[in-house]
Amino acid sequence: MHRTVGLRCLIAVGLSITLLSGAPPAEAQEASVTARVGVVKLLPEAEQPISRLDDTPPNEAFAGATRATADNATTGRFLGHAYETLEVTAAPEDAIGSLDGLLNEGVRLFVILAEAETLLALADHAAEAAPDAIILNAYARDDGLRLDGCRANVFHIAPSRAMVADSLAQYLIWKRWDDWLIVSGEHAGDRAMAEALQRAARKFGAEVVETRVFEDTEGMRTSDSGHVLVQRQIPVFMQGAKAHDIVLVTDENELFGAYFPFRTWDARPVAGDAGLRGQTWHPAHESWGATQLQRRFERDNGRHMTELDYQAWLAVRVIGEAVTRIGSADPSTLADYLVSDAFEIAAFKGKALSFRPWNQQLRQGVLLADGRSVVTVTPLDEYLHQRFRLDTLGFDEPESACSLN
C-alpha cells in the first residue's frame, strides 16, 4: 500500500536519518554546507513474486539511502558538511504533489525511483517550478530516457537496458554462445528489453535465431499445483525451436522467467531476467572491498542489499562525493561538476564511475550473477574503447540522439 508522507513527517524523517548517520544535531547546525536530499519512491504496487524468497523488503531503496547518508556523514563531520535525507513513498498519480511538497521545503536534490513516464513528468515539472533542481534516476532503465527523451535536469544512476543487454552479450560472445533464442513477455518493458538484446546481438556479432512471446497464465502461480502446470507447459512452449546456444528471457515484472531454467525442451542455459542476470548489485559480490559495504548494510538492516538498495545508496553517495570535492551543495554547481572530467566515484566495481556528459548516464560495470554467485563483472577486458571501456556498455556518444553537452 502506498501513502503520501505529510510535510511534518518529512521533516521528522529527514532529521531522524541524519541522527542515524552519526552526525550530532549540534554539528549539523554548525555545518558550513548542508545537503538535503529527497528520496522519492513512486512505484506501482508489484505483483506477488513467484518465490516467497523474493518478497520485497518494506524499506527497499530507503535502506540504501540511509546507509549512504551515514557514509557521507563520516567524511562530512570533519569538513563541516551535514546531510539530511527525506523519504517519501507515494502512488505514481501523486508524483507531482509529492515533489511539490519537498520543493516547498527547499529541497533541490532528488533521488527518484519511478517508471519512465512518471520520471519525465517530474523532470518537466521541476524544470518549470525549480529550474535549479536536479534529479538522480535510481530506477528507470528505458533507453529513450538517455536518447531523444533525455532531460538536462536528470542524471541516470540506474543502467539503461542497452547497458545490461551489452553486458550479457559480451560474456555470451566470449563463451562463444553466439546463437540466441529470445523469449519475451507481453509487457512493454519486456518487449523493450528484447529489442535491446537484438541490438546487442548486432553490435557484438551474435545471431538471434528466433524470438517467441510467452503468455503468462495465472494458474502457474497456484502454490498447490503450479509446478505441475509449469513442468508441462514450458517444455511444450519451447519444443521445435531453431538450434540455439542459449535462451534469453525478458520478464521485467518477474511473472514467468524464473520457471525457465531446467524446464526448457533442449538442454540449454538461460539468461536475461532468469538464470544468469545482469545486475548492478548482488549479495554475493565481494570484490574491491564490496564486503565492507555488504556487512555495514546487513548490520543496519538484518538482510542483504538489493539492486534498488544499491542504486539509492549510489545516488546519495554521488551527491556526497561531489559535495566533499567542491565544498558546495548548490544544485547548479553540483550539476556542472558531475559531468566534468574531474568527477569520479568508487563504488566497489573495480573502476571509478563517472557520468557521460552527452546524456548524463553514470558509467558503471554490470555484475553477471546467478542465484548464489557472481559469474563475472563487465565490461570484459577483451572489449576495448578509445576513452572509457565502460562506454562499451550501452549507447556510445556517436550513437546517441541526446547531446546535453
pLDDT for the residue 51: 78
Instruction: Express each pLDDT in 247-276 by its tens digit.
Output: 999 999 888 999 999 999 999 999 999 999
Residue 299, all three cell numbers: 548490520
Amino acid 231: pLDDT: 72
Cβ distance 193 to 165 under 8 Å? Answer: yes
**Terminal alpha carbon distance of the chain:** 40
- Cell, residue 156: 541516470
**Could you report the per-residue pLDDT of 218-228, keeping only the tens digit for each?**
555 545 445 55
Whole-number Å distance between alpha carbons of 110 and 136: 6
Show the cell assigned to 217: 497464465
What SS3 string covers 139-194? CCCCHHHHCCCCCCCEEECCCCHHHHHHHHHHHHHHCCCCEEEEEECCCHHHHHHH
So what's the pLDDT on residue 11? 38
Helix (H, G, I), strand (E, B) or coil at 355: strand
pLDDT of 217: 66
Q: What is the pLDDT of residues 318-344, one digit of tens each?
A: 999 999 999 999 999 999 999 999 999
Per residue in 83-138, pLDDT tens? 999 999 999 999 999 999 999 999 999 999 999 999 999 999 999 999 999 999 99
Which residues, listed in sequence order, are joined to residue 362 by a DSSP beta bridge? 355
Q: Which residues pair with 137 in a beta bridge?
A: 112, 156
The overall average pLDDT reported for the chain is: 90
In this structure, of 12-21, 74-83, 286-295, the range with the lowest mean pLDDT score is: 12-21
DSSP string of 267-294, one letter each residue: ---EEESSSEEEES--TT--GGGHHHHH
| pLDDT at site 40 | 98
Q: Would you state the cell numbers that stand for residue 112, as one nine-digit string?
A: 527518484
Amino acid identity, residue 246? I
Nearest CA among 385, 376, 375, 379 for reference residue 364: 379
Separation of alpha carbons 86 and 39, rounded Å:
6
User: Can you give the pLDDT at residue 271?
Assistant: 98
Q: What percent of the chain has pLDDT over 70?
A: 89
| pTM of structure | 0.90
pLDDT band at 229 (very low <50, low <70, confident <90, very high): low
Is 218 strand, coil or helix?
A: helix
Provide DSSP, 220-263.
GG-TTTHHHHHHHHHHHHHTTPPP-SEEEEE-TT-SSGGG-TTT
Taking Cα atoms as reference points, which of 200, 206, 196, 207 lies closest to residue 173?
206
Q: Which set of grid coordinates corresponds to residue 18?
A: 541524519
Confidence bin at 302 (pLDDT 50/70/90): very high
Q: Are 227 and 198 in contact (CB under 8 A)?
A: no
381 against 103, higher pLDDT:
103
Dig out the grid coordinates for 79 from the structure: 569538513
**Interval 132-191: pLDDT, tens:** 999 999 999 999 999 999 999 999 999 999 999 999 999 999 999 999 999 999 999 999
Can you list the alpha helix ranges (DSSP code H) found in 303-392?
A: 307-326, 331-338
